[in-house]
């Protein structure tokens, strides 16, 4: 038997999230960058829009399934037959960036019919986009494997299967988008996704929780889904300097949205400030708002002001990597009390890498992360009073809190770094491709 050659070239399709810093984009860019440093030819290919990342952007200089183009093809018949040079114009990065800078955002509730059509692949209204991608991969790139950052861009999978190109899909939040679809599109999309599953060579997830959940939702056989560790780039991360002179500070670093639990955080902070000897405690907030979440975020900020806490919080707005580091360096602990069950928790590793301990709801991937790397406490989900009590207790002893964060930092640096993630993911990809060709 001839031994299967190891993977040398990966075409990695990632979904841009308009002008937002997206956890999945950050993860995909970090992973592709780590592979390239190791000598693996990993081409990160944006779909819908260019990606936005706070690290070096390693994505290729073109976008497939450009958001403007596929939307027009869905709504207006003749756009499905545009010549190639006009497609390239509509898919150009500068045009997509200009459109997203003016407030264009992805809202699942408004994209039901487009989502279903995209999942239909060559049987949908965007069939020529599927053909263009497949021709580019087959004729120009010739990858050993195609890796998709989610299954919602999987309308091309059956065509890639016919070309004898193995396809692996990372599941890292697909259910959140599906949950927001309105009927009948939600049911239709899930039905089509289940039909796509047999053509996928393998699936990757970052937690056992999400493995079990997605196996049930999409009817994925257990032998086709693998748990791989989530990791981050830690090369420029430095530990938080211990400074007992600055006010005790709680940090929040995530999208300023309901699903991330911003309202739970505000409720808990108001409750905390009613407890004795908390006059010095501050709340530092940072995260993307955009058109979709701006009103909600404004309402939560106003609630803090109405509670007389205007001098007790700082709003950083949307932050880049330097701004993220500044917030973490000024935080005694980080808390993002999500109301949905988080499939990975990238911000948890980012905080712990700096030595900042975390307080998280006890659901989704969070218990697994804390059990693995330590560095935090778990509280009942959607319980502001329990959250405030946990904060209060932890903030009583800053030295012990700092030690808790340092324990998490050591674990993240030793086994949740980008290089480890790249090695283990590549190992699983090779295993999947070997099994697929057997």
For the stretch 236-292, pLDDT in tens is 888 887 766 789 999 999 999 999 999 999 999 999 999 999 999 999 999 988 888
- How does DSSP classify residue 48? S
**Measured distance CA(170)–CA(229) in Å, rounded:** 12
Provide CATH 3.40.50.2000 ranges for the chain: 9-233+418-437, 249-415
Q: Give me the phi and psi of 168, to 5 degrees please.
A: -120, 140
Instruction: Give the whole-number percent of the chain exceeding pLDDT 70.
Output: 95
Query: Tens digits of per-residue pLDDT, 80-98?
Result: 888 888 888 888 887 877 8
The C-alpha atoms of residue 160 and residue 139 are separated, in whole angstroms, by: 12
Which of 52-66, 168-182, 353-367 bottoms out in mean pLDDT, i.e. has the lowest? Answer: 52-66
pTM as predicted: 0.92
Name the band, by pLDDT with cuts 50, 70 and 90, for residue 106: low
Nearest CA-CA partner of 366 in 354, 381, 385: 381
What's the pLDDT at 266?
98
34-49 burial, b for 16+ CB within 10 Å, e for fewer? Answer: bbbeeebebbbbbbbb
Distance of CA 284 to the CA centre of its chain: 22
The Cα–Cα gap between 2 and 50 comes to 40
SS3 298: helix
pLDDT, position 94 = 76
Q: What would the pLDDT profile of 392-421 be if each residue is shown by its tens digit?
A: 999 999 999 999 999 999 999 999 999 999
Give 242-248 contacts, CB < 8 A, sequence gap 24+.
242/402, 244/398, 246/330, 247/280, 247/281, 247/282, 248/280, 248/281, 248/282, 248/332, 248/395, 248/398
Domain 249-415 has CATH 3.40.50.2000: yes
Q: Does the structural domain 9-233+418-437 have CATH classification 3.40.50.2000?
A: yes
């Amino acid at each position: 038997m001839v031994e299967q050659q190891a993977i040398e070239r990966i075409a990695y399709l990632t979904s841009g999230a308009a002008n937002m810093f997206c956890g999945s984009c950050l993860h995909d860019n970090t992973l592709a960058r780590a592979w390239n440093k190791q000598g693996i030819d990993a081409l990160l290919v944006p779909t819908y829009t260019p990606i936005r990342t706070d690290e070096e952007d390693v994505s290729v200089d073109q976008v497939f399934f450009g958001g403007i183009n596929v939307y027009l093809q869905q709504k207006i018949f003749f756009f499905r037959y545009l010549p190639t040079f006009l497609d390239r114009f509509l898919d150009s990065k500068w045009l997509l960036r200009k459109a997203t800078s003016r407030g264009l955002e992805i809202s699942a509730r408004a994209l039901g019919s487009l989502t279903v059509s995209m999942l239909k692949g060559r049987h949908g209204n965007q069939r020529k986009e599927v053909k263009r991608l497949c021709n580019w991969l087959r004729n120009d790139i010739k990858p050993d494997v195609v890796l998709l950052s989610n299954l919602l861009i999987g309308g091309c999978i059956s065509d890639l299967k016919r070309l004898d190109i193995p396809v692996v899909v990372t599941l890292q939040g697909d259910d959140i988008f599906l949950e927001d679809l309105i009927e009948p599109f939600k049911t239709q999309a899930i039905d089509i996704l289940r039909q796509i599953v047999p053509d996928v060579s393998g699936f990757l997830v970052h937690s056992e929780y999400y493995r079990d959940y997605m196996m049930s939702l999409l009817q994925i056989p257990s032998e086709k889904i693998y748990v791989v560790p989530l990791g981050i780039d830690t090369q420029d991360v430095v530990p938080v300097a211990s400074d007992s002179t600055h006010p005790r500070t709680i940090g929040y670093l995530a999208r300023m949205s309901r699903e991330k639990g911003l309202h739970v955080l505000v409720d808990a902070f108001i409750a905390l400030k009613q407890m004795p000897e908390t006059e010095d405690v501050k709340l530092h907030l940072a995260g993307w708002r955009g058109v979709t979440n701006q009103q909600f975020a404004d309402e939560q900020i106003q609630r803090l002001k109405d509670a007389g806490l205007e001098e007790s919080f700082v709003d950083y707005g949307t932050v880049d990597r330097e701004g993220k580091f500044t917030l973490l360096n000024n935080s005694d602990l980080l808390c993002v009390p999500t109301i949905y069950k988080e499939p990975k928790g990238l911000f948890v590793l980012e905080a712990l890498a700096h030595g900042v301990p975390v307080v998280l709801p006890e659901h989704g991937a969070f218990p697994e992360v804390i059990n693995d790397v330590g560095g935090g406490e778990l509280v009942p989900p959607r319980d502001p009073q329990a959250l405030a009590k946990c904060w209060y207790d932890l903030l009583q002893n800053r030295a012990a809190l700092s030690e808790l964060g340092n324990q998490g930092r050591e674990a993240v640096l030793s086994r949740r770094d980008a290089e480890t993630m790249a090695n283990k993911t590549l190992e699983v990809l090779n295993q999947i491709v070997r099994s697929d060709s057997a």
